[in-house]
Structures are given as C-alpha cells and as structure tokens.
C-alpha cells in the first residue's frame, strides 16, 4: 500500500527515489540507483529488493528501465570506501546516481536516515524501500546491478565464491580469504579483511 503523502508528492512533482546496496560486503563497490517513475505507467509489484527473488528482481528491473521516466546508477569504488568510510562512500554513490539522471528531480526521497548533499529538496525515509515505489525501484536497480557485477568478479577472482554471497562476510568467504589472501577488490578498512592482512604481515 502506497502511503498517501508519497503518492500525492509523486503526482505533483518530478520525484526521484534513491537507494544503495553494498554497505555490508567485504568486497566490491557500493552501488546506488536513482529512479524517477512515470505516474502514468505504474509498475506493479515494486518492493524492497531484499524481499524479492532474484528472478523477480530481474523482471522488475527490466520493467523499471522500460517504463520509468529516467534512471541512473552511481557507485563508489573500494579505494574510496577505504579512504572516506562506507557511509560517506554510500552518500557519494547516491550523489553520482542523481547526477546521472537525464532529468533534474524536483524532489528526492532517499532510503534510510542519512542524506547526501544535494541542490534540491530532499528527505530521508526510514524503510523507504518498502514504503515508497520510486525508492523500491531504486533498490531493485541497485541490487540487480551490483549482483551482476559480483558475478562477473567471480570469474576474475575465482575461489572466493563472489557469485554466491556477493561479497558479504559469510563463513565460506572468510575461509576463502584465509586460504587465498586478500584481493584488490577487498575492502581493507573492514575488520575481517584487516585482520587477515595483519596476520599475513606478522
């Protein structure tokens, strides 16, 4: 059920939803998406990407790309995450996604409780990915994009299981790190990775 205040906002303004994926993984970039949906072409089934199956996310991503007014992906790389920290890197990825939109938003809704620095009206929405359709759409595009990239990374960095866990700190991933060492796509500022580096230095 769309909350009335967000439905009204979407009807009156060029409203962009923004979300990111990839704060928790030990490897790979953090990826954000920004989406301006077309009120005249509603997309059924939008929801928090984490609550959807991979196949459903893929189908919805195709629909979003086809029916949205515009959309864009932004990212922050591993070196940026290690330099400025994951929160700031997430906000940077969001800024880049918004900057990539073909049309300038009149209002922006961002999932969570932090806002990047923006030059138009914006607000953070707790659990926005399950409450606001344009944020749900952004969460889906961000996750599909990042998951696809991690599947590609699995081919370049075999043995870590990246296609399976997408870089998150599963037991299998930690064991692979201990066995294979730290690759260039691992986040050295994250404690599990840092500990392995310290062990190898010792």
Q: Could you tell me the two tokens for 60?
A: 């919805």
Summarize pLDDT for 98-149 with one digit per residue, the tens.
Answer: 999 999 999 999 999 999 999 999 999 999 999 999 999 999 999 999 999 9
What is the mean pLDDT of the segment spanning 83-103? 98
Q: Is 160 helix (H, G, I), strand (E, B) or coil?
A: coil
- What integer pLDDT is reported at residue 202 of this predicted model? 54
Flag whether 140 is in a domain: yes
Evaluate whether residue 74 is within a structural domain: yes
Residue 175 inside a domain? The answer is no
Q: Is 88 contained in some domain? A: yes
- Give a yes or no: residue 66 inside a domain: yes
Q: Where residue 105 sits, what CATH number does that domain have?
A: 3.30.420.10
User: Judging by DSSP bridges, how do beta strands 70-76 and 107-111 pair with one another?
Assistant: unpaired
Structurally, how many domains does the chain consist of?
1
Is the residue at 107 inside a domain?
yes
Domain range spanning residue 101?
A: 4-146
More confident residue, 12 or 160: 160
Whether 152 is in a domain gets the answer: no
pTM: 0.95
User: Which tens digit of pLDDT belongs to each residue from 20-59?
Assistant: 999 999 999 999 999 999 999 999 999 999 999 999 999 9
What single string gives the DSSP state of each residue in 71-104? EEEEEE-HHHHHHH-HHHHHHHHHHHHHHT-SS-
Residue 156 belongs to some domain of the structure: no
| Nearest in space to 91 (alpha carbons), one of 75, 79, 69 | 75
Helix 54-67 / helix 133-156 crossing angle, nearest 10 deg: 120
């Amino acid at each position: 059920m769309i909350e009335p205040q967000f439905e009204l906002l979407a009807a009156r303004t060029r409203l962009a939803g923004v979300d990111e994926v990839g704060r928790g993984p030990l490897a790979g970039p953090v990826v954000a998406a920004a989406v301006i949906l077309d009120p005249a072409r509603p997309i059924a089934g939008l929801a928090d990407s984490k609550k959807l199956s991979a196949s459903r996310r893929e189908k919805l991503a195709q629909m979003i790309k086809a029916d949205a007014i515009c959309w864009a992906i932004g990212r922050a790389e591993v070196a940026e995450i290690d330099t400025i920290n994951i929160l700031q890197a997430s906000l940077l990825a969001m800024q880049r996604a918004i900057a990539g939109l073909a049309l300038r938003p009149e209002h922006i809704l961002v999932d969570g409780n932090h806002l990047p620095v923006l030059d138009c009206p914006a607000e953070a929405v707790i659990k926005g990915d399950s409450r606001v359709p344009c944020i749900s759409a952004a969460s889906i595009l961000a996750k599909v994009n990042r998951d696809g990239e991690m599947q590609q990374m699995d081919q370049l960095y075999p043995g870590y299981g990246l296609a399976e866990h997408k870089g998150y700190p599963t037991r299998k991933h930690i064991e692979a790190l201990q066995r294979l060492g730290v690759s260039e796509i691992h986040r050295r500022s994250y404690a599990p990775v840092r500990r392995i580096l310290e062990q190898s230095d010792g």
